[in-house]
Amino acid sequence: MKYFFFITLLSFSLFSVAQTDPRIPSAKDLIRYNPSKNRMYQKGWIDFNKNGKMDVYEDPTATIENRIEDLLSQMTIDEKTCQMVTLYGYKRVLADDLPTPEWKNKLWKDGIGAIDEHLNGFQQWGLPPSDNPFVWPASRHAWALNEVQRFFIEETRLGIPVDFTNEGIRGVENYIATNFPTQLGLGHTWNRNLINKVGYITGREGRLLGYTNIYTPILDVGRDQRWGRYEEVYGECPYLVAELGIAMTKGVQRDYQVAATAKHYIAYSNNKGGREGMARVDPQMSPREVENVHVYPWKRVIAEAGLLGVMSAYNDYDGFPVQSSFYWLMTRLRGEMGFKGYVVSDSDAVEYLHAKHGTSENMKESVRQSVEAGLNVRCTFRSPDSYVLPLRELIHEGGLSIETINNRVRDILRVKFLTGLFDSPYQMDLKAADNEVNSLKNQEIALQASRESLVLLKNEGKLLPLSKDKIKTISVCGPNTDDAAYALTHYGPLAVDVVSVLDGLKTKVNGQANILYTKGCDIVDANWPESEILPTPLTSEEQQEIDKAVANALKSDITIVVLGGNSRTCGENKSRSSLELPGRQSDLLKAVQATGKPVVLVMINGRPNSINWADKYVPAILEAWYPGSQGGTAIADVLFGDYNPGGKLTVTFPKSVGQIPFNFPHKPASQVDGGKTPGLKGNMSRVNGALYPFGYGLSYTTFKYSDISLSAKSITDKQDVTVTCKITNTGDCAGDEVVQLYTRDVISSVTTYEKNLRGFERVHLKRGETKEVSFTLHPRDFELYDIHNEWVVEPGDFDIMIGASSEDIRLKDKLSVVPYGTTITKAVDMGLNESVKMVLDNNEYTEWNGTTGDFLNIIMDENAQPEKIDIYWKSIEHPAAFEIQLSSGGGQFITVYKGNITDTEKYSTYIFKKAVASDLRILITSGKATISEVKLDNVKR
């Protein structure tokens, strides 16, 4: 519980300062915020420009676009340029926590676009959280941000509110807030509804604390497991990143409580060799891979979730820096994707144009290129003057047109109007901040996220779950056993109480078992990472600590080894050259395993590791990622069976770093290479296959897949199709299964991926329970980026696959897609018409056989209005059911009759509502049936 004591000491420090700082408001003033009794605050509106009348931009009933244009018409160049920059907050760039008289002489006397990370507690990398009295409690923090906001509203000419921005990829970054698993862990839940709740809590707590724009979600798609920021991605599949990104964005932006700013746009996450720093400029991707993998999530999140913010990345693509690319920031982002918010630069993206990329001569030229390209707000850890002053010079010299400036400022103002800053600029309910931020209710969602993020990789002999009744002594070791600092790093809450694995285990056994703990080893050794290529013997101190772990294991019924990484081995600027366990961790694991006692390995880390030895010799392995502040509780729940793990991998585990790039999705046969026979006389030259594939994950129960069904076997390229199947829990306990749907374009004009994830659902099933799972596939799910660089749906067959992982496919079917305008019935003429002829030839000895999903299409005369059909069912296999569907053209069919097939060897008559129809379809919806004849009026012969 070391974190509790640390937080207690820091909180005591904040309390002590609060007793002596005269600026601290009283308790009664922290219930509801009351701005100064200034006449500018009118009933129902605010007189921002203090002219005594309601201007259009001050009128809540006016349209947003009219309000923007009215305000823009009143702004000077100085006021416009101040909106185009971020001021980093307290102890980053801004020296003051609250406004001072000197602010009237600063650049921001004319306003400011955004203030980032102000009073959130973060100081610098490696430093403890700030002890400023305004970081906590929540009500006081919100009051302080209100006071800063009040300066911009009351003390600037036009009163334009500031946008308070902050990070939020695992909970809003604040001294204290609800602390979730890192985004990689959240991805492994495969739970859209849960991610939406995480997003809502993040946005809600952010707004209660005074923030109005949260930097989340990360839409980067992980493609190189060595990359340091792998802990920040949802996974390596663009479809999954898009789906969870949509859910997160909708949650954060619900009711426009705050804006969500996604990052990092674009093609950022596949750097050369997985490296960062200066090598970030050279991602190893073809143009088609960029479109299929990296552009895909952005298009969908912008279109389907209304994303209000985009952070432009500082890499280049194909020699063109994204930050100065009109193509990427305007043509694609705004023109094609329809983005309506504002673009903020990532860190020194503007400065890198001259300092790293060499495509600009100096800062002034870098500013010009960035603004021309589409940048709205420069955001980095530098004085805002360094950007605004050269920006103003360019305008006065004619280097940038006022039309361009106006366009950039319009986007900034639009976001501020949408999030209500001109109508409700203050966080009024201060007490709500104390009641809701990191509340028990929110922590319950965080614990659910921690539990659902866990992935069971191996469980040989059903070693897990453990039984408290049978285990008397537990040995626990490993550098991550009693260290949970991973939950308190940057981009999330900084000072919450964290439950380590050791804490969780002690609470779980509650004295019923004796726990023996020793660390065993550190995360890294003294020579790491050089020791990965030049190994050194264990020091005597290292050997002694491993010996302690072995001694404990020999005295125990079970040993739990908690290994992995932390901020030393993973994170921003922490890319690796190996995926092996760092330091002496493998030595510790092998020594404990050699005791012959049962061993459970728990991995806490921010990337996949090549744990080949553990996979072969350790009976049980649980992957926990960075599981948030309640990770220790969640892990203990899983180890002792109080929660059945159901997470699935959103990333591939390579067996060796030498296999990289190795991920999903991939081209056919692209991840198999060389021979398959090892040894002296073999032909195998490299390891093949994944250690654990995309979508993989075990459970304490088992699941049966059955009854795949398509709503249609053939559709046009404009139609949706529904795919259903049944999942049954065939094991001994309740559990979650992540049902995954994949497609494959069988024949295409360009090479496509071997499998495309196009649907997933996390389903909870009680013991013996069966549920039907339904997926809707849209035309976009069949698209490919063709040889003309256009997204199209090509006619042809698609394999439909449902499984428990990308390599564990349980059900298969096939779907045909025909061009819109060709219509389904024309497709019948091209191949199915012989079947139709057999049931319309007045010959009961010719027949058509159909199984579930098969259908007959019959073309009708022009203006035909069928209302009755006679069908001679020759034979059926019970139970059998069917539908009669009508189409009035274009391939769209509507069901007019559905029923079971009961009588055979005679005609059955079916009557339905009369309607004009160009086509009639008989669809077998379950079982098998044989039709020998059909009687139907107005059939086209």
Q: What is d(CA 409, CA 419) in angstroms, rounded to the nearest whole number? A: 16
User: How crowded is residue 143: how many other Cβ atoms within 10 Å of its Cβ?
Assistant: 22
Q: What is d(CA 334, CA 329) in angstroms, rounded to the nearest whole number? A: 7
Q: What is d(CA 49, CA 161) in angstroms, rounded to the nearest whole number? A: 12
**Amino acid code (one letter) for 354:** H
Q: Does residue 805 carry a pLDDT above 80?
A: yes
State residue 825's pLDDT score: 44
Q: What is d(CA 901, CA 926) in angstroms, rounded to the nearest whole number? A: 10
**What value does the mean pLDDT take over residues 444-458?**
98
Q: What is d(CA 264, CA 346) in angstroms, rounded to the nearest whole number? A: 8
State residue 827's pLDDT score: 41
> CB–CB of 412/162 below 8 Å?
no
Q: Does residue 130 carry a pLDDT above 70?
A: yes
**What value does the mean pLDDT take over residues 209-231?**
96
Q: Does residue 911 carry a pLDDT above 80?
A: yes
Q: What is d(CA 843, CA 141) in angstroms, rounded to the nearest whole number? A: 84
Q: Does residue 276 carry a pLDDT above 90?
A: no
Q: Quickly tell me which residue has 């991939």 as its tokens.
A: 666
**What value does the mean pLDDT take over residues 289-315?**
97
**What value does the mean pLDDT take over residues 538-543?**
97
Strands (E), 591-698: 599-604, 620-623, 653-654, 690-692
Q: Could you tell me what percent of the chain has a pLDDT over 70?
A: 96
> CB–CB of 90/97 below 8 Å?
yes
Q: Does residue 401 carry a pLDDT above 60?
A: yes
Cis peptide, bond prior to residue 283, ω within 30 of zero: no
Q: What is d(CA 75, CA 81) in angstroms, rounded to the nearest whole number? A: 10
Q: Does residue 673 carry a pLDDT above 80?
A: no
**Phi then psi for 297, rounded to 5 degrees?**
-65, -35
pLDDT in tens, 6-42: 555 555 566 555 567 899 999 999 999 999 888 999 9
State residue 847's pLDDT score: 87
Q: What is d(CA 703, CA 393) in angstroms, rounded to the nearest whole number? A: 67
Q: Does residue 537 carry a pLDDT above 90?
A: yes
**Phi then psi for 556, rounded to 5 degrees?**
-115, 160
**Phi then psi for 425, rounded to 5 degrees?**
-75, -15
Among 739, 522, 658, 663, which residue's Cα sits nearest to residue 230?
663
Q: Does residue 889 carry a pLDDT above 90?
A: no
Kindly state the helix (H) or strand (E) to which residue 812 belongs, with its residue range: strand 809-818
Query: Under 8 Å CB-to-CB from 910, ≥6 apart: which residues?
Result: 868, 869, 870, 871, 884, 897, 899
pLDDT in tens, 815-824: 999 887 654 5
pLDDT in tens, 192-208: 999 999 999 999 999 99
Largest CA distance in the chain: 101
pLDDT in tens, 561-611: 999 999 999 988 899 999 999 999 999 999 999 999 999 999 999 999 999
Q: Does residue 892 carry a pLDDT above 90?
A: no
Q: What is d(CA 251, CA 894) in angstroms, rounded to the nearest whole number? A: 35
**What value does the mean pLDDT take over residues 525-550?**
96
pLDDT in tens, 228-246: 999 999 999 999 999 999 9
Q: Does residue 776 carry a pLDDT above 60?
A: yes
State residue 695's pLDDT score: 98
pTM of the model: 0.88
Q: Does residue 280 carry a pLDDT above 80?
A: no
State residue 841's pLDDT score: 83
**What value does the mean pLDDT take over residues 769-779?**
97
What is the DSSP code (8-state) at residue 620? E
Query: 375-384, 768-777, 855-864: which has the minimum mean pLDDT?
Result: 855-864
Q: Does residue 4 carry a pLDDT above 80?
A: no
- What's the distance, Cα to Cα, between the start and end of the chain in Å? 82
SS3 429: coil
**CA distances (Å), origin 311, targets 229, 260, 295, 380:** 16, 10, 14, 12
**CA distances (Å), origin 806, targets 247, 445, 740, 789, 809:** 23, 28, 8, 28, 7
pLDDT in tens, 715-728: 888 899 999 999 99
**Phi then psi for 654, rounded to 5 degrees?**
-70, 155
Q: What is the DSSP string of 900-916?
A: E----SEEEEEE-----
List helix spans (H) across 463-566: 501-509, 540-554
Burial class (CB in 10 A: 0-12, 13-18, 19+), 535: exposed
Q: Does residue 826 carry a pLDDT above 80?
A: no
> Average pLDDT of the chain?
93
State residue 7's pLDDT score: 53
**Confidence band for 885, pLDDT divided at 50, 70 and 90:** very high
Query: Under 8 Å CB-to-CB from 50, ≥6 apart: which residues?
Result: 40, 159
Sign of the C-alpha dihedral computed for residues 656, 660, 663 and 666 taken in this order: negative
Query: Under 8 Å CB-to-CB from 153, ≥6 apart: which residues?
Result: 35, 40, 46, 48, 159, 161, 425
**Phi then psi for 295, rounded to 5 degrees?**
-80, -35
Give the pairing type, strands 721-729 and 770-777. Answer: antiparallel
State residue 832's pLDDT score: 43
Q: What is d(CA 162, CA 153) in angstroms, rounded to the nearest whole number? A: 8
Sign of the C-alpha dihedral computed for residues 177, 94, 366 and 333 taken in this order: positive
Kindly state the helix (H) or strand (E) to which residue 777 belongs, with its residue range: strand 770-777
Composition of the chain by helix, strand, coil, percent to 5: 35, 25, 45
Q: Does residue 891 carry a pLDDT above 90?
A: no
